[in-house]
Amino acid sequence: MGDPTTYHFNLDPALRPVHAPLEERWWPGIRDAAIEASSARIYDAILGVRAVVIHATAGGSSASAASVIVGRKASFHWLVPDEDEPQHGQFVWATCHEARAAWHVRNACSHPAIWDGRRRINHWSLGIEVVNRQVRTDAFSDWQVEATAQIVRYAWAKYPNLRHVVSHAMLDPARRSDPGSLFPWERFRAAVLDGREDRTPKLVAGAAELEAVLPSAPFCMVV
């Protein structure tokens, strides 16, 4: 079991993916509430994003997590469904506009390893909530780990200054332990850095190779 207060790793700019697709859908009807439950970023919406914060809900459903945003109590950018929900294995929920600062970490929280200990991390981060009850009997599914990693890869490809992936527990150890000791941080880290989910570019690369081998092949052969 891992210690969630130590969960973090950095993203090497040299390994930044060129393209990392994300299967996401907006949570139905949440967009207006998400604007009210978030703030305008004080940094540039693209260049100012430096970190991704990994959370787990401690609740058993996407609906209960989304209700926090609807109630304007807190917010986060994505929600990864639990294994007993129909969206599991299909897509993740978008729950707040990426261009806005969601309210997922207390303003006073910081860590020296994360952008030199700057505060107000919500303004320079993205937040992911993974639906999990945070009990021993509720393991994170392989898909949840891969889907969370793919969100990070998508963000890494999109935000050129994104460097840090960190747990909520590391930023706020006195009050938070998420995503918890059962979250397989090393496997998640490997999935982010290995990019096993970037299937589209691999197919494109394969097609390019085929064209190189068979320069006279008509396009319809590929279809």
Binding site for Zn ion (CB under 5 A): 55, 168, 178
Whether a cis peptide bond, with omega within 30° of 0, leads into 179 is: yes
Length of the chain: 223
Query: Which member of 24, 36, 98, 129 is catalytic?
Result: 129
Cα 179 to the chain's mean position, in Å? 12
Q: How far is the CB of 179 from Zn ion (least distance, A)?
A: 8
Residue 119, amino acid: R
- Other CB atoms closer than 10 Å to residue 145's CB: what's the count? 20
Shortest reach from residue 165's CB to Zn ion, in Å: 14
* CA proximity to 95, closest of 72, 66, 119: 66
Min dist CB 105 to Zn ion, Å, is: 7
CB nearer Zn ion, residue 178 or residue 197:
178
C-alpha 195/C-alpha 31 separation (Å) is 30
Give the angle 169-156-59 at the CA atoms, nearest 5°. Answer: 35
Cβ distance to Zn ion smaller for residue 20 or 122: 122
Nearer to Zn ion, 55 or 123 (CB): 55
Measured from the CB of residue 207, what is the shortest distance to Zn ion in angstroms?
41
Q: Which is nearer to Zn ion, 106 or 196 (CB)?
A: 106
Q: What is the phi-psi region of residue 158: left when phi exceeds 0, alpha when psi lies from -120 to 50, beta otherwise? A: alpha
Q: Active-site residue 197, yes or no?
A: no
Which residues form the catalytic set? 129
